[in-house]
A and B are shown apart, each in its own frame.
Chain A
Amino acid sequence: MHLPEGILPLPITLGGYVAAGLVAAFCVRRIRAQVDPLSQVPQAALMTATFFIASLVSFPIPPVSVHLLLNGLLGVLLGWFAFPAILVGLFLQAVMFGHGGVTTLGVNALLLGLPALAAYGLFQLRACCPLLLTRRFTLLLSFLAGALAVGLALLLFTSILLVGLPAHVDAALERRALMTLILAYLPVLFLEGLLTAMLVGFFLRVSPGLIERR
């Protein structure tokens, strides 16, 4: 779900750069405000590499092909680091494989990074009420966070495409094509929710520190 070069007009790509820069700066500020900000860099790098590899592997759901996004998982495990991590992952994908693009880097970072931050916000609901800090509730929140991130990314992706595609495209056909894409990504939404919950469950058993400090 990466927007390639050449499709979007300049105001959207340039606006995307500015907005992504502002969000990244805000996230970096929040990270620096933490007690030991650099200690989380290795984990963030590791998750970025995982995001990088996962989103390059596509699998066909006819008539389109989809790939895992893992932005929800990044949000849950990395918190404020999720947005810079996605930005870095997208930059490397654009440079190394031409996946996404140099001019669409800002827009792509927004459409995957903002849902990741939303997933983090949802996962943080655990902190609101100590009674809800049970394993079952944590797993439920992880599932919802993983699925929400994919759903929001899909929503942003289709909205940007609707605005950015040439005006004379048959509107009904355009809507049908986007609906096909949304339907193709519905299994991914469920799968990512499940994968996020499974991984959080694994970390809770093996290394709870990775989850608890979020």
Chain B
Amino acid sequence: MTSSPMFTPALRSDLLRRELDHDSLIWSPIRPTPAVLDPVATVLLGVIDGMATVADLAQDVEDVVGIERSVAEAQVRRVVTQLDEAGALTTSPPSTHAERQQELFVNPPST
């Protein structure tokens, strides 16, 4: 599942978080086990404030780190998906599964 650029991720207030060696360990009350976040996800975890959209976060990454917008957006989407799977978000990002299904018919059937 990937998240829409207009999705606004917000972290659960009861999420437990610990850091060690630039990695993070987060534990949501709705998951039986914690999840490990890599350094990129750990940095993004610190800037998700419940107001910035995925597009805003990608813009921040582009401005601060200086990487291409498409790469920044891909990283943000990856992290948001990872946080969602870890039960760290208050709401899940809308699925683009239906959009991907439409890609199956990108070539019109021949007549």
Question: Do these two chains interact?
Answer: no
**Which residues of A approach B to under 8 Å, CB–CB?**
none
